[in-house]
Chain A
Amino acid sequence: MTGIMTGFPSFDAATGGLDVRKTYLVTGNKESGKEDFSYRLAASSLNGKLSVVYVTNNKSNTDLLSEFTARSLNIAQYLGVSMTILDNYVRSIAPQAGDNNYTKVLNGPVDLTGLTVAVSSKNSDLLKDGRTVVNIFDSISSLLLYNNPVTMFRFLQYICGRAKMSGVTTVFLLDEQMHTPEVNETVRSLVDGIISLKLDNGKRYFTVSGVAKEVLTWTPLG
């Protein structure tokens, strides 16, 4: 089985893409380009005929789509077909916001059960349809700010367990600067692969560890 292409040639050449069925943590600080990485990964997965469930915890579904547009990533034809947005943010600015044909609106960061139910049932629908699925959580830093570490640990453990069982590739974005080393360590212990990103002198670099093809020295991302 070939990997999931991220849309970054240097990354894909060095790693063969993301391993299907694995869980990944994408870490880096604010300017590191985690979000850029995740938008391109989503677009590249969709172009590769995969299905994406995109959980947004810190921007609305409309703002998320603008991010794609701003990068000339055209995903319009996938919306509601292979691309589903679980909007866990918009109700904090628009309490009455409702679903549309590609977005399910959730209750926000403290309702981890609501999020789990939505992710699981969307995944089930897609898997029954014979699709290969990528879940992206952008980002779990916001969830960590609202929930205590024990609660988050239970939640992440459950999500990772279900992802393993159902063969869904899962990507968590995390801004490690926002959390204590213990919290970061705990999150790291739950995933298979860790993708670290950084910005240095205007250039982006990555490392990957924990998977078959590791890249342990900072390598230009592009």
Chain B
Amino acid sequence: MNDPVFGIGKLDDDLEGIPFKKVVLLSASPAVGNEVFGYQIIYNNAIHKNKVLLFLNRTSPQVYLTEMKDYDFKIDSNLVIIDSYSNLTGIKSAETATTRVINNPSDKEEIRKRLSEELEKGYDLVVFDSLSLLIDSFDFDFAVSMVDLVKQKLQTKDSSAVMLFTDWEYGENDINKLGTRSNAQIEIKGIEKRVIFGQYFAVIKCDWVKGKQFSSVLFKAVKPGGIKIYFPKILITGPTDAGKTSFIHSASKDAVSVDRLGGTIALDHGNLDFEGYKADLFGTPGQERFDPLLKLLGGEAIGVILIVDSTKPDQFPRAIEMLRKTETYGLPIVVVANKANLPGALALDDIRERLHLGKDAPLFQTFAEDLSHIDPNEPTKLKKEGVNGALRALFKELT
């Protein structure tokens, strides 16, 4: 028997597993799934010979196990499921060595009794999927009493619990009842604007780890594999020669580009460390022959800087097209009108209108620091003000 783990690198680093007697609340916002956290935690405990009890009222055991397999979480022992779902539907579920079937999932007493009996047998880890469904099908107090029941049993058995919960804005008072009963709370949220363009999780409380600062991280649930952490990615796109590569080299100290004759042929990359924010900058090529790369480069971006050449309005439709092709339409976006000091550069209002930008859409001018040093085969260093203004505006949109 091992101490229960999360099986999610970042959480195990932060919290060093889940000590016995502790209750962890995994609280997600409604549009963000948290079930994969459950799959991964169950899997990593079961394969480490921890006995796991799953209280399941969200779907049938068959579907649950199939979904786990889709993530490559195959287990054949150490998991017992209390099925409080099937009998709500027309599905027949048979009691087996590894499934306990609740005959009437609308009966509080039966749920309480079966759960209590099962907990008596002693499990290393208890998982609820989901606590909020208990609230939805009964009421808050019943769900809280179930947490109390679990907590009480954890004290006598060497065991800990993880509760999956979706926060449907139940109201502060009720949420506090859950908060005070849990030893650790992990929040799972989407970065939601017009679209949900990223999801992150963060430990917001933990009573057994002292003196650590917890940070939030972006993640994706990947089939197969499960929860994968990634670094925020900002896409720099726009028509050819607009100044994308120049922008990245001006914003990042260590930018690298895959270039030929001054044009980007694959991508630019730079690490950004700006006023407390860290992110990866990815620049696309602008030439149309590289369009097949665009979708790939745009994947997982959480924000966009669209660069246009202020002297070339004929390229503006292409700029919009590139948002489509990188599939980043609807993400937070800042437009940079580069080469603003060249003869023929359009005024900002004119650019705003021609790009159909709303009057509040962030738009910044940039231009070369030193016009006497422009090499057509090299990116140009752009003046700091514009570059920083654009980055600041984007991070403001993102946070």
Residue positions of A touching B, CB distance < 8 A? 91-93, 95-96, 98, 107-108, 110-114, 116-117, 120-121, 123-124, 127-130, 146-148, 151, 154-155, 158, 162, 165-167
Binary interface profile of B, 186-199, with partner A (CB < 8 Å = 1, else 0)?
00001011111100
Q: With A107-B58, A117-B32 known to touch, is A92 a contact of B91 (CB < 8 Å)?
A: yes
A93 to B89, CA, bound (A): 9
A79 to B30, CA, bound (A): 27
Interchain nearest-CB distance for A129 vs B (Å) = 5
Asked if A111 and B327 sit within 8 Å, CB to CB, the answer is: no
A123 to B331, CA, bound (A): 13
B88 within 8 A of A: yes
Asked if B329 and A127 sit within 8 Å, CB to CB, the answer is: yes
Residues of B within 8 A of A96 (CB): 62-63, 66
Asked if B324 and A130 sit within 8 Å, CB to CB, the answer is: yes
Total residues of chain B contacting the partner, CB 8 A: 40
Residue positions of B touching A, CB distance < 8 A? 28, 30-33, 57-60, 62-63, 66, 85, 88-91, 130, 132-133, 136-137, 166, 168-170, 190, 192-197, 323-324, 327-331
Asked if B195 and A148 sit within 8 Å, CB to CB, the answer is: no
Asked if B88 and A91 sit within 8 Å, CB to CB, the answer is: no
Chain A residue nearest in CB terms to B91? A95
Residues of A within 8 A of B88 (CB): 110, 146
Asked if B136 and A95 sit within 8 Å, CB to CB, the answer is: no
Residues of A within 8 A of B169 (CB): 154, 158
Q: With A120-B196, A130-B329 known to touch, is A113 a contact of B63 (CB < 8 Å)?
A: no
Asked if B327 and A91 sit within 8 Å, CB to CB, the answer is: no
Chain A residue nearest in CB terms to B331? A128
Residue from the list B85, B196, B331 in contact with A121, Cβ < 8 A: B196
Asked if B58 and A114 sit within 8 Å, CB to CB, the answer is: yes
Interchain nearest-CB distance for A116 vs B (Å) = 5
Question: What is the interface of chain B mostly: helix, strand, loop, or mixed?
Answer: loop
Residues of A within 8 A of B28 (CB): 113
Asked if B328 and A158 sit within 8 Å, CB to CB, the answer is: no
A167 to B330, CA, bound (A): 10
A110 to B138, CA, bound (A): 12
Chain B residue nearest in CB terms to A167? B194
Chain B residue nearest in CB terms to A108? B89
Residues of B within 8 A of A162 (CB): 31, 192
Interchain nearest-CB distance for A31 vs B (Å) = 26
Asked if B60 and A95 sit within 8 Å, CB to CB, the answer is: yes
Interchain nearest-CB distance for A109 vs B (Å) = 9
Asked if A113 and B327 sit within 8 Å, CB to CB, the answer is: no
Interchain nearest-CB distance for A203 vs B (Å) = 37
A158 to B29, CA, bound (A): 10
Asked if B196 and A92 sit within 8 Å, CB to CB, the answer is: no
A–B complex contacts, Cβ < 8 Å, 19 sampled: A91-B60, A92-B89, A92-B91, A95-B63, A113-B58, A113-B130, A114-B58, A116-B30, A121-B196, A124-B195, A124-B197, A127-B329, A128-B195, A146-B88, A148-B136, A154-B168, A155-B168, A162-B31, A165-B194
Asked if B323 and A130 sit within 8 Å, CB to CB, the answer is: yes
Q: With A95-B62, A114-B58, A129-B324 known to touch, is A166 a contact of B195 (CB < 8 Å)?
A: yes
Residues of A within 8 A of B331 (CB): 128
Q: With A113-B130, A151-B136 known to touch, is A127 a contact of B59 (CB < 8 Å)?
A: no
Residue from the list B59, B62, B193, B329 in contact with A111, Cβ < 8 A: B59
